[in-house]
Structure 1
Amino acid sequence: MEVILKQDIKHLGEKDDVVNVKPGYGRNYLIPQGFAILATPSAKKVLAENTKQAQFKQEKIKKDAAELANKLESIKLTIGAKAGETGKIFGKVNSIQIAEALKTQGYEVDRRRITFETEPKTIGEYVANLNLHKEVKVQIPFEVVAE
């Protein structure tokens, strides 16, 4: 079953992507929740026209994301966390803390676009992945230190 996504869905696709899903998933979840519409020929034509009109805007967004990625490649963050004597931190470092650390350095990044290769649960160095755009991704090293 082909559907057109109306918003980004993790592990499935981005907004305005035409994806194949199982019929039950499309009929019982995606369409009723408003996450997708059925990919009829007329809906595909409307999508093609909207895509053509939005192409210039997307190029500008991609260019801005690439510029931000170039700036972010050179920074290194330090995140403070309460830790025990063995180096294990209480709780864990999350994407909100990374986004706030970036904001203090003058970079505005949505916390939902930040993921981790390994979850930071101890003191040490880690890497955060920033998905600034479909095609623009950057890795930022950060260090977790005891407060």
Structure 2
Amino acid sequence: MEILLIENVTHLGVRGDVVNVKDGYARNFLLPRKMALPVTAGNKRQIELEKVRAEKLRAKELADAKSLAEKIEAVSLAVTKKAGENGHLFGSVTNADVAELFKGKGFTLDRRDITVPHIKDAGTYTVEVRLYSGVHAKVSLEVSAAAAE
């Protein structure tokens, strides 16, 4: 079935694309969630308007994401975790921890968009934040160890 995407759909396409999907996927998932429209003779004009609108919106979202990336890269984060005598952390620093740090700085980010390296020791690490397709921000994360009681 040929459909027009109204929203960005992971692994399928972006807003404004016309794609072919299986009938069941379109009928049972995309169409009921208002993520797509079927391509019919009556929708052709609407599809053209949707493509123009989607292109303008995509350009605006890209500009906003680049602006946000600059603001995020200016921030440096610091976290203190309990550690053993050898400096090895009890637990690790996760993307949810980093999302909370960003929240404290005034940025609301989804934890799934944050890529954190495996952190088990104190030190300085680079965290990557995915903001938009092709727009990533790298932030410095300072991890310090606190003595366990």
TM-score by length of 2: 0.65
Which residue of structure 2 lines up, in the alignment, with residue 31 of structure 1? 31
Normalising by the residue count of structure 1, what TM-score does the alignment of the two structures yield? 0.65
| Larger fraction in strand | 2
1:122 and 2:120 are equivalent in the alignment: yes
| Deviation at residue 93 of structure 1 after TM alignment | 1.5
1:142 aligns with 2:144: no
Secondary structure of 2:132 counterpart = coil
Which residue does the alignment assign to 1:79?
79
1:56–1:137 CA distance, 2 compared to 1 (3 A): same
Q: Which runs of 5+ in 2 are unaligned?
A: none
Give the direction of change, closer, same or farther, for the CA distance of 1:113–1:2 in structure 2 (3 Å limit): farther
* 1:91–1:69 Cα change, 3 Å: closer
Q: Deviations over 1:110-133 (max 9, x none)?
A: 325623164x45235544332323
Using the alignment, how far apart are the partners of 1:146 and 1:94 within structure 2? 18
Deviations 1:38-82 (A, max 9, x none): 233543531321342465454344323222222333433223344
Tell me the equivalent position of 2:131. 132
CA RMSD of aligned residues (A): 3.4
> Number of matched residues?
144
Q: Which runs of 5+ in 1 are unaligned?
A: none
1:47 and 2:36 correspond: no
Q: Percent identity?
A: 33
- Report the Cα distance in structure 1 between the residues aligned to 2:113 and 2:35, rounded to whole angstroms: 22
Aligned to 2:3: 3
